[in-house]
Structure 1
Amino acid sequence: MELKSLVDQPNKLPTVPKVVQQLIESFNSEDISATEIAHLIASDPALSAKLLRLANSAYFHVSRTVGTVDDALRMLGFVMVRNLVLGNGMVAAFKNTKGMELQQFWRYSLYTACTARWLAHQGGDNGDAAFTLGMMHGIGQLQLHAVAAAEVALLDKQLNVLDAGRAELENEKLGFHFADVSAELAKIWNFPEALSGVLKDIPAPLAATPFDRMAGWVHLGAWRARAEVWDQSDEDQTASYPAAVAKRLGVDAGWALASAKDHADKAMPPLKELTAGLDAMLE
């Protein structure tokens, strides 16, 4: 199997809602205005309603009710609004994918995105970009299951799709891994290279030259998300913690490990609290 064969024909690609595609194109536009974005989103009543529901969730702690798309753009910022619409669009685009536990997969993706955003903010980096990458990093897995179901079904019997070693197994058996597919999809959808180029490095950020901090944040986010959706024990979390990546980023283990209780002041809020209300994106 070749990587290009997974994405080289229009009928092999998921259908992205028109508004989402237009918002993706805005990544590459320096002069698009908030008014234009508001009009795009407002043209889809169902999407507008979903956005307002998300904007008023506990996640954002807004000081007053967000009543319009314009309000959402002002209070949450253009990039975060685009992230919410993008996440909602990705869920819709892959809603019929067979062979995967989609609810678990998207919850894992959301947890990855929110953790990566929190960590990047703490580290002085662009948290909203980390959120985008966190939501997008695993979509190649969905594309693999949609287009090469028989091949990946054999891999699924060996290792869960969310396992930290899954990319290595796919590379060994297929010659590429799911994050390579995610990057190819991002290119086709006209994401900027600054984002699409990072996606392929997320499973093994320390192997990339140069090291990209965004890939590192999402890698840590994926570890934390995996621990949550699998309800891992403290011992298993400690054993699987990507300490080398954390060290490269200058992150103290106290942000997530129960074994580092003496650093509780640096701990991330519980994921259910950190993502409160955003699960509406997955519906």
Structure 2
Amino acid sequence: MLASAALNREPELPSSPKLVALLLTELGRPEPDLRRTSQLFGADPALAMRLLRLANAVHREDTRGVISVAQALALLPTDGLRPLAEQAALASGPTAVPGLSLPQFWRFSLQVAKLARALAASVRQNQAVAYTAGLVHAVGELVLHAGPQEDMASVNLIAGVCDVRRAKLQQRMLGTSYAEVGAALAQQWQFPGPLVDALRYQIAPFDNDVYEPLAGLVHLAAWRARAQESGFDDRALATSFPGEVGLALGLDIDMVLQQDPIDWSGGHVDA
């Protein structure tokens, strides 16, 4: 399967119903709170994707493109945001993607975003861009799960969405991965090149002709989150740490592991 083949129809990207309801309430106020609005768009991968799509379509003349949630909200008028939330409401629901635990997917995506932002701060990269890339890094999963269910069922049976083997297993069994599909969607929606490259090369940052530090940050953040979810002990952490990626960014394993611990006990999505 080619990544583009997974996009043969407009993908319906589901958002957290709770976040969409809160966003609609906020945008329904006479003067929506911009900080709260930013928090809500920045807490959900699908909302962030919709926002970036609109911003890049409206500001197509800007050759640099719109690459973060914060930048998009700074450029778009507030009254143009409600239709996005209304569209998200139509596609949302905890069971909107068969075979995928959306609450787990939302929590995991948010955690990778937070870790990417923290790592970016450590190496003086743009924190808002790193956060956005981490938030949408696995959006390709939503597209893949909208395809033939038997394909993804076989993958899910072996490796869950947080499994460190996930991308390689998808590549072997499907001929593509969530990283490639997410990058194809971002490219189709005219996202900036650095963000497209970060999504495409997040699994293997050095495969790109020109190394993109953003891909390295997402790679390390996802490794940290997956290792935590998998309950890696010290030995497993040491042997699985992507040392070359860390070296390129000036980050060793201790620096990556010192980021805020991950709390998977909560049953809600942060807002």
TM-score in terms of structure 1 length? 0.67
Conserved 8 A contact 1:28-1:192: no
1:68-102: CA deviation from partner (whole Å, max 9, x where unpaired): xxxxxxxxxxxxxxxxxxxxx69x65851110122
What letter is aligned with 2:102? L
Conserved 8 A contact 1:109-1:225: no
* Partner secondary structure for residue 236 of structure 2: helix
Residues 126, 101 of structure 1: alpha-carbon distance in 2 compared, 3 angstrom cutoff: same
Query: Which deviates more from structure 2 when the two are superposed, residues 31-40 or residues 110-119?
Result: 31-40
Aligned to 2:77: 37
Residues 108, 35 of structure 1: alpha-carbon distance in 2 compared, 3 angstrom cutoff: closer
Supply the distance in 2 between the matched residues of 1:195 and 1:94 (Cα, whole angstroms): 27
Supply the distance in 2 between the matched residues of 1:214 and 1:113 (Cα, whole angstroms): 12
Residues 29, 134 of structure 1: alpha-carbon distance in 2 compared, 3 angstrom cutoff: farther
2:270 aligned to 250, 273, 280, which one? Answer: 280
Asked if residue 269 in structure 1 is aligned to residue 263 in structure 2, the reply is: no
Percent sequence identity over matched residues?
30
Residues 14, 154 of structure 1: alpha-carbon distance in 2 compared, 3 angstrom cutoff: same
- Look at both structures and tell me which one has the larger radius of gyration over its CA atoms: 1
Conserved 8 A contact 2:112-2:134: yes
* Partner secondary structure for residue 210 of structure 1: coil
State the Cα RMSD in Å.
3.5
TM-score in terms of structure 2 length? 0.70
Conserved 8 A contact 2:120-2:217: yes
Residues 104, 170 of structure 1: alpha-carbon distance in 2 compared, 3 angstrom cutoff: same
Supply the distance in 2 between the matched residues of 1:115 and 1:126 (Cα, whole angstroms): 13
Conserved 8 A contact 2:198-2:215: yes
Conserved 8 A contact 1:111-1:225: yes
* Partner secondary structure for residue 201 of structure 2: coil
Within 5 Å, which residues of 2 pair with 1:132-143? 132-143=132-143
Conserved 8 A contact 1:116-1:218: yes
Q: How many residues are treated as equivalent by the alignment?
A: 226
Within 5 Å, which residues of 2 pair with 1:192-231? 192-231=192-231
* Partner secondary structure for residue 147 of structure 1: coil
